[in-house]
């Protein structure tokens, strides 16, 4: 384990240590009581029932305090009750162990999840782009689960096993060292056998997992490609393919099953022989008078107590390596550098002018996307941006919102005269309402989605925003209205409905800066016009950025920019640009006299 | 398997008997004379039980994997026959977990519960019998705890199952929290709702801990009860049976062992019962799929002549000519309220090119769905080569139709495997000709291993445009008389765009084609254009007729024209 892992484990353990200590202590007591019962029975058999004298002072005074061996023999309910008393203690400690251990493990998991979530949401977006979404989700869910299972089921178990082994052995040694030695010498053999086996099935398991993955992926592809399968009439082929994959997978399992069955069978033989050795040598010792009958009985009990944990230990050690791998995968996320504001970063006048100065930008390992982009937006005005696919329009906006950071030291974006590098990210973002090109909705109700930006947004405000986005009527047509659940467990919205929801969501923020990144591309013509009209009223004093390729959307903007391959080709008002006769003018012509040209 | 499970538990039943003999004979009589026989008998028993256990375990395993496999195969096969309305109504993830996880739960339950049940039941019965034989009074006393324990267990089990389910539900909620936070990272950042999302997660993590603690509480009580149950049995033996030890230490020790030993089997049997209850859900789900009827079913006469999808009688398949007639068709989607087609008729003679236009989500694919018989019409008929589609098998129809989807779907495997999907018998020469025709040959040549290159899961190693071209080649390799083409709206670079355009012009030559069109040139050259609005066909005619008509088509066309022109200008 790396040093960082130790640090994070310590962090995750916060608030769990007491619980784990109680857990370990109670499992200790439980184990101890488990050891006591055979002793009580031995005492009852040897001293009470068989009446053998002993020179152990402790035992004698113990017997005396209950009225002596002879009295106890007539009243066997007393030792039986003592046995029950010990069991009652075990009842309590076992319960305590379960609860406190679970509390510890669950709190640890809670810490891990919360810290991971917090870290993931504060990692820079460039990190998200670099790492596969599926992989991050896997690390945050199934890896956490693996660690949790190890901690809750195995970790204290290891303590328990060590304690049990140590105690069983010491009881055995205290009774008869020769016998103890015989029993103990078999243990390493059993442990090693179990370890080797678990190593071996691990590879077999991996093979099975991989094969299952293949089978599962095949089924997945078949289901997603169901139209292709049908259209080509290839159902029979798909079925045969699935059956073939399934056969192979099943074959691997059968192989694994054989290994397992062989292990258990041979394990039965080994432990059986071990029991035989202990039983026979015990018998020999007892016959020779080196061991009392009670001790003999106790020995057999202790021996069984030893066998089980040793077998478990092999499994635990192999689980431990699995948990270690998962932990490292979690630590990878925790060790990534989160977004951080520059020291002394503060606020700025968000209602001030916004200026892009010589902005150059390239994504990691990609050619330069934006080159020397400079323009100034007066406070409260509207800017329209037009450009082809990949011309850098969206990136420009994401830079303003600090979703990506400007790397080039000569490039600068200022808001109200302050370099946004010196502005707190959270402050900046909460003052900019942005509607992304591909809007993402959360699995909550529509009302919650629209009002998500600010706590306590009233339904009035939500409805008003929805009206502005021409969404109110659509929502009212749903059975549950604004309480309609969005996403997997609710309705699926069309592309246009999603875009309109995202627009409404941006509007409820009442932010001084608004950005619409091609936000009406999936909306039909009539609705498009309706939204444009209502938005114009809504904008008020806000500074607005509109990305679009539709002249009707851009026409009224105070400044229009035409972006081409990362540089500004044309800029000015609609009239100016039309007069200039450049790309914009051509586009304008194409969009106005349209079809008649044909 | 059952027999071996039975035999396997023998050793555990007889172990105390051996102990008793050791005590009574060796210790009691103080002689070791029979020791060699004793050892031999013990070893034989152990060996016997090991073999029995081995066979029992491997057969339980085999039963498990075989049940799983057969269930999986039959669910999968049945899914191949279900209609699109089933797929539209259930998410891929949902169906997928029915195929993969439900089936495996059933198999493992059936085989292991059976095996464990037999094992433990045998042990329990064996132990009871041995105890009764050895000392009936003591045996009955020990057994008084049994009903008590069974009662306690059944009380806990129900609660445990419920609590466990609650924990699992919470767990999947937390997973979806992470899913949202990660896939929606950009949105979360721009909305500055990181804290809000964190709070939601925290609510859930607190809740799951509470629920898990409840499970621990129940489990704790449960296992503590088991333990104390065995201690009570021990105490009874000591109290009531202690005197036996004076003469027969062996019998005493035998009772001690059984008193502890019978608790575990009781728990197992109750566990098996509760597993069965839990598994019922899985069984019901699988059963539901297997009993879902396909929307479109071939009549017995058709099956008799043309075979099923899995065993088609291709020798009876007539070649298709490519004349299509839609005759007075009325159709409502199974989940729809009003008909999308009402008494609609259209003749599409061989070689005709039909274009269907309309806005996204307007319902352009209805006609295609009906011609491909993905749904059956409610009234009227669809005739192919003058014969109702219902008079021939779906498999006949589908093997004669070429279909290019809007979002091209390739399967994992090589380019060649994908191309051969519709026509497994095509030669390399035919493949190359098809690739060249749609200028996909360049795509293949660029790949390191040519036709044998892997396309990745869902074709992900290729770009969207490349996938598109490959899927064109795949469709024309079947040389279908009827080609259905759903044009892509996804943006590709200008060069690929031009290639796709010329590929489309190529593939529709010499066939009947129905194109769900998004490109002007495709639409303009069509012999017949159908205009769809809100699911219904509102206008039909040639390009010129429709433009002159000055209706919805004109508006639609204008916007499309502007968009394409703008896109071209902006580059």
Minimum distance, in Å, between the CA of residue B429 and any CA atom of chain A:
21
CA distance A123 to A118: 9
Q: What are phi and psi of B171, to 5 degrees?
A: -60, -40
Rounded mean pLDDT, A240-267: 88
More reliable by pLDDT, A54 or A291? A291
A98 part of contact set with chain B, CB < 8 Å: yes
Question: pLDDT tens for residues B110-124?
Answer: 777 777 777 788 888
Report residue B432 as tokens: 């190359």
Contact B326, B344 (CB under 8 A): yes
Tell me the CATH number for domain A1-174+321-338. Answer: 1.20.1560.10
Higher-pLDDT residue of B335, B232: B232
Read off the pLDDT of each residue in A553-578 and give the average, rounded to a whole number: 91
Can you give the pLDDT at residue A256?
Answer: 85
pLDDT in tens, B411-423: 888 999 999 988 8
Q: Which structure tokens are listed for B403? A: 């279909």
Looking at the structure, do residues B550 and B478 belong to the same domain, yes or no?
yes
Terminal alpha carbon distance of chain B: 72
* Residue B403: C-alpha distances to residues B118, B199, B416, B467 (Å): 55, 49, 18, 14
SS3 label, residue B372: coil
Contacts of A449 (CB under 8 A, 6+ apart): A441, A442, A486, A501, A505
User: Strands A432-435, A513-517: parallel, antiparallel or unpaired by DSSP?
Assistant: parallel
Domain ends where: B243, B263, B290? B290
Cross-chain CB nearest to A434 (options B190, B235, B424): B190
CA distance A358 to chain B (A): 23
Say if residue B272 is in the same domain as residue B324.
Answer: no
Of the ranges A196-210, A235-249, B169-183, which is most confident?
A235-249
DSSP class of B98: I
Query: Comparing C-alpha atoms, which of A347, A367, A387, A376 is closest to residue A583?
Result: A387
Element at A355 (helix H, strand E)? strand A354-361
For residue B196, the chain A residues in CB contact (below 8 A) are 452, 455
- Cα B173 from Cα B556, distance rounded (Å): 44
Whether B488 shows a pLDDT value over 80: the answer reads no
Of A397, A374, A371, the C-alpha closest to A544 is A397
pLDDT at B273 over 90: no
Residue A515 has pLDDT above 90, yes or no: yes
Looking at per-residue confidence, does B116 or A489 come out higher? B116
Q: How confident is the model at residue A374 (pLDDT cuts 50, 70, 90)?
A: very high
A33 touches chain B (CB under 8 A): no
A108-112, A496-500, A524-528, A558-562: least confidently modelled range: A524-528
**Which residues contact residue B165 at a Cβ distance below 8 angstroms, ignoring those fewer than 6 apart?**
none
What confidence score (pLDDT) does residue A597 get? 47
What is the span of the domain harbouring residue B262? 2-290
Q: What is the domain partition of chain A in residue ranges?
A: 1-174+321-338, 177-290, 346-431+517-526+547-598
**For residues B186 and B174, what is the distance between their CA atoms, to the nearest angstrom?**
20
pLDDT of residue A489 exceeding 60: no
Has residue B323 got a pLDDT over 60?
Answer: yes
pLDDT on residue A22: 92
**Tokens standing for B505?**
């012009």
Q: Give the percent of chain B with pLDDT over 90.
A: 14
Q: How far is CA B307 from its chain centroid?
A: 26
DSSP A131: S
**Residues of chain B contacting A581 with CB distance shorter than 8 Å:** none
Chain B residues inside the 8 Å CB shell of A595: 547, 554, 557-558, 561
- Residues A409-439: tens digit of each pLDDT: 999 999 999 999 999 999 999 999 999 888 8
Mean pLDDT, to the nearest integer, of A403-407? 90
- CB pair distance less than 8 Å for A265 and B23: no
Distance (Å, whole) CA A108 – CA B385: 70
CA atoms of B189 and B208, how far apart (whole Å): 27
DSSP-derived pairing of the beta strands A567-572 and B324-331: unpaired
Instruction: Express each pLDDT in B18-48 by its tens digit.
Output: 877 877 777 777 777 888 888 888 888 888 8
* Same domain? B244 vs B317: no
pLDDT tens digits, B389-446: 999 999 899 888 888 887 788 888 899 999 998 888 889 999 999 998 888 888 888 8
Tokens of A398: 């994401």
pLDDT in the model for residue A490: 59
Of all residues in chain B, what percent carry a pLDDT higher than 70? 96
Q: What is the mean pLDDT of chain B?
A: 84
Q: What is the pLDDT of residue A195?
A: 81
Mean pLDDT of A68-97: 87
What is the average pLDDT across A380-389? 89
Q: Which CATH superfamily is domain A346-431+517-526+547-598 in?
A: P-loop containing nucleotide triphosphate hydrolases (3.40.50.300)
Which positions in chain A touch B245 (Cβ < 8 Å)?
45, 49-50
How big is chain B by its Cα radius of gyration, in Å? 36
Give me the pLDDT at residue A435, please.
92
Of A591, A2, A34, A296, whose CA–CA distance to B570 is shortest?
A591
Any idea what the CATH number is for the domain that residue B74 is in? 1.20.1560.10
Find the mean pLDDT for residues B192-198: 90
Banded pLDDT at A401 (limits 50, 70, 90): very high
Q: Is residue A158 pLDDT above 50, yes or no?
A: yes
Upper half-sphere CA count for residue B316 (Cβ side, 13 Å): 15
CATH number at B354 reads 3.40.50.300
> Could you give the angle at which helices B35-81 and A235-287 cross, rounded to 10 degrees?
160
Split into its structural domains, chain B has a count of 2
Sequence-ordered alpha helix ranges (H) in B422-463: 428-437, 441-446
- DSSP class of residue A346 equals B
B295 occurs within a structural domain: no
Same domain, B253 and B324: no
pLDDT at A572: 93
Please name the member of B61, B224, B566 whose beta carbon is closest to the beta carbon of A587.
B566
Cβ-based neighbours of B156, under 8 Å, separated by 6 or more: B218, B221, B222, B225
A551 vs A202 pLDDT, higher one = A551
User: Is residue B549, in this structure, part of any structural domain at all?
Assistant: yes
At residue A559, φ and ψ (nearest 5 deg) are -145, 135
Q: Which of residues 294-333 of A touch B (CB under 8 A)?
A: 296-297, 300
Please indicate, yes or no, if residue B547 is contained in any of the structural domains: yes
The b-or-e profile of B82-93 (16+ CB within 10 A means b, else e) is bbbbbbeebebe
Alpha helices in A335-362 (DSSP H): none
* String of DSSP letters for A421-482: GGB-HHHHHHTEEEE-SS----SSBHHHHHTTTSTT--HHHHHHHHHHTT-HHHHHHSTTGG
Q: A497 — contact with chain B (CB < 8 Å)?
A: no
B297 belongs to a structural domain: no
Backbone angles phi, psi at B482, to 5 degrees: -120, 125
pLDDT of residue A1: 45
As a whole number, mean pLDDT of residues B309-335 equals 88
Those residues with Cβ within 8 angstroms of residue A488's Cβ, 6 or more apart along the chain or in another chain: A443, B91, B176
Residue B296 lies in a domain: no
Closest partner residue to B198 among A117, A231, A283, by Cβ?
A: A117
* Average pLDDT score, chain A: 86
| Chain centroid, CA A596 distance in Å | 58
Confidence of residue A595 (pLDDT cuts 50, 70, 90): low
Tell me: pLDDT of A511 over 50.
Answer: yes
């Amino acid at each position: 384990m790396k040093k960082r892992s130790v640090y994070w484990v310590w962090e995750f353990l916060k608030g769990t240590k007491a619980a784990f200590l109680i857990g370990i202590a109670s499992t200790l007591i439980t184990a101890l009581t488990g050891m006591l019962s055979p002793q009580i029975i031995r005492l009852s058999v040897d001293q009470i029932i068989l009446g053998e004298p002993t020179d152990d002072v402790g035992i004698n005074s113990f017997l005396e305090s209950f009225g002596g061996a002879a009295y106890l023999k007539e009243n066997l309910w007393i030792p039986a009750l003592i046995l029950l008393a010990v069991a009652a203690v075990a009842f309590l400690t076992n319960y305590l162990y379960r609860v406190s251990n679970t509390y510890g493990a669950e709190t640890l998991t809670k810490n891990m999840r919360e810290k991971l979530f917090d870290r993931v949401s504060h990692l820079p977006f460039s990190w998200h782009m670099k790492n596969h979404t599926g992989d991050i989700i896997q690390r945050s869910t199934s890896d956490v689960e693996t660690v949790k299972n190890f901690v809750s089921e195995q970790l204290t178990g290891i303590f328990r096993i060590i304690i049990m082994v140590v105690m069983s052995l010491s009881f055995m040694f205290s009774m008869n060292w020769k016998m103890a030695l015989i029993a103990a010498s078999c243990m390493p053999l059993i442990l090693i056998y179990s370890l080797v086996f678990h190593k071996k099935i691990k590879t077999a398991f991996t093979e099975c997992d991989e094969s299952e993955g293949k089978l599962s992926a095949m089924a997945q592809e078949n289901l997603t490609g169901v139209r292709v399968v049908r259209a080509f009439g290839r159902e029979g082929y798909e079925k045969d393919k699935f059956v073939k994959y399934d056969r192979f997978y099943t074959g691997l399992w059968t192989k694994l099953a054989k290994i397992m069955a062989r292990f258990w069978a041979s394990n039965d033989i080994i432990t059986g022989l071990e029991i035989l050795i202990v039983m026979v040598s015990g018998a020999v010792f007892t016959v020779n008078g080196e061991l009392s009958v009670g001790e003999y009985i106790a020995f057999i009990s202790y021996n069984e107590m030893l066998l089980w944990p040793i077998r478990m230990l092999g499994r635990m050690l192999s689980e431990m390596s699995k948990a270690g791998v998962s932990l490292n995968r979690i630590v990878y996320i925790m060790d990534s550098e989160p977004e951080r504001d520059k020291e002394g970063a503060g606020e700025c006048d968000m209602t001030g002018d916004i200026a892009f100065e010589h902005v150059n930008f390239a994504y990691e390992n990609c050619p330069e996307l934006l080159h020397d982009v400079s323009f100034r937006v007066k406070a409260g005005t509207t800017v329209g941006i037009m450009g082809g696919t990949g011309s850098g329009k969206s990136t420009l906006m994401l830079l303003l919102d600090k979703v990506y950071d400007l790397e080039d030291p000569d490039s600068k974006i200022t808001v109200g005269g302050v370099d946004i590098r010196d502005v707190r990210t959270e402050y900046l973002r909460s003052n900019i309402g942005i509607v992304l090109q591909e809007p993402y909705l959360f699995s909550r109700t529509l009302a919650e989605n629209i009002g998500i930006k600010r706590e306590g947004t009233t339904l009035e405000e939500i409805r008003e925003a929805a009206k502005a986005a021409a969404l109110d009527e659509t929502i009212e047509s749903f059975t549950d209205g604004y309480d309609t659940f969005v996403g997997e467990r609710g309705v699926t919205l069309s592309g246009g409905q999603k875009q309109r929801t995202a627009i409404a969501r941006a509007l409820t923020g009442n932010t001084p800066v608004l950005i619409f990144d091609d936000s009406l591309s999936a909306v039909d013509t009539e609705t498009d016009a309706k939204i444009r009209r209502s938005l114009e009223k809504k904008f008020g004093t806000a500074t607005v950025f509109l990305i679009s390729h539709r002249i009707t959307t851009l026409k009224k903007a105070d400044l229009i920019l035409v972006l081409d391959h990362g540089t500004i080709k044309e800029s000015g008002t609609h009239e100016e640009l039309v007069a200039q006769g450049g790309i914009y003018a051509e586009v304008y012509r194409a969009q106005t006299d349209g079809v008649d040209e044909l | 398997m059952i027999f071996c499970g039975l035999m396997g538990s023998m050793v555990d039943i007889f172990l105390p008997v051996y102990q008793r003999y050791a005590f009574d004979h060796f210790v009691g009589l103080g002689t070791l004379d029979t020791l060699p026989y004793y050892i031999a008998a013990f070893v034989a028993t152990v060996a016997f039980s090991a073999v029995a256990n081995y066979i029992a375990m491997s057969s339980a395993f085999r039963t498990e994997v075989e049940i799983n496999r057969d269930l999986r195969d039959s669910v999968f096969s049945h899914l191949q026959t279900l209609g699109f309305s089933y797929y539209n109504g259930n998410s891929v993830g949902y169906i997928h977990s029915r195929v993969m996880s439900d089936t495996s739960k059933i198999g493992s339950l059936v085989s292991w519960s059976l095996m464990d049940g037999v094992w433990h039941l045998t042990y329990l019965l064996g132990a009871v019998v041995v105890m009764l034989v050895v000392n009936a009074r003591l045996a009955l006393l020990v057994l008084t705890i049994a009903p008590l324990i069974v009662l306690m267990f059944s009380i806990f089990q129900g609660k445990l199952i419920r609590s466990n389910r609650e924990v699992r539900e919470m767990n999947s909620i937390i997973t979806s929290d992470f899913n949202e936070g990660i896939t929606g990272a950009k949105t979360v950042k721009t909305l500055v709702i990181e804290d809000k999302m964190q709070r939601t997660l925290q609510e859930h993590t607190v809740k799951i801990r509470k629920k898990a603690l409840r499970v621990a509480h129940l489990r704790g009580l449960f296992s503590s009860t088991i333990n104390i149950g065995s201690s009570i049995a021990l105490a009874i033996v000591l109290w009531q049976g202690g005197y036996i030890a004076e003469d027969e230490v062996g019998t005493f020790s035998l009772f001690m062992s059984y008193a502890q030993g019978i608790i575990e089997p009781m728990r197992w049997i109750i566990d098996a019962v509760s597993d069965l209850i839990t598994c019922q859900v899985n069984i019901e789900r699988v059963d539901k799929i297997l009993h879902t009827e396909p929307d479109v079913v071939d009549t017995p006469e058709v099956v008799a002549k043309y075979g099923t999808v899995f065993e088609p009688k291709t020798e009876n398949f007539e070649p298709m000519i490519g004349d299509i007639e839609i005759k007075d068709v009325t159709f409502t989607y199974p989940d729809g309220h009003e008909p999308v087609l009402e008494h609609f008729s259209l003749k599409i003679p061989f070689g005709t090119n039909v274009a269907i236009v309309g806005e996204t989500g307007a319902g352009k694919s209805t006609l295609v769905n009906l011609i491909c018989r993905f749904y059956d019409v409610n009234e009227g008929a669809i005739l192919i080569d003058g014969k109702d589609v219902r008079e021939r098998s779906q498999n006949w129809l589908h093997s004669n139709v070429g279909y290019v989807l809007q979002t091209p779907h390739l399967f994992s495997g090589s380019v060649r495997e994908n191309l051969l999907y519709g026509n497994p018998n095509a030669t390399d020469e035919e493949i190359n000709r098809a690739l060249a025709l749609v200028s996909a040959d360049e795509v293949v040549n660029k790949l390191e291993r040519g036709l044998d290159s892997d396309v990745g899961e869902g074709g992900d190693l290729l770009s969207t445009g490349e996938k598109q071209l490959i899927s064109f080649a795949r469709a024309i390799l079947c040389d279908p008389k009827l080609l259905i083409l759903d044009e892509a709206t996804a943006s590709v670079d200008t060069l690929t765009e031009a290639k796709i355009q010329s590929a489309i012009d190529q593939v529709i030559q010499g066939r009947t084609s129905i194109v769900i069109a998004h490109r002007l040139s495709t639409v303009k050259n069509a012999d017949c254009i159908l205009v769809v609005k809100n699911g219904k066909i509102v206008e039909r005619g040639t390009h010129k007729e429709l433009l002159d008509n000055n209706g919805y088509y004109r508006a639609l066309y204008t916007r499309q024209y502007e968009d394409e022109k703008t896109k071209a200008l902006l580059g």
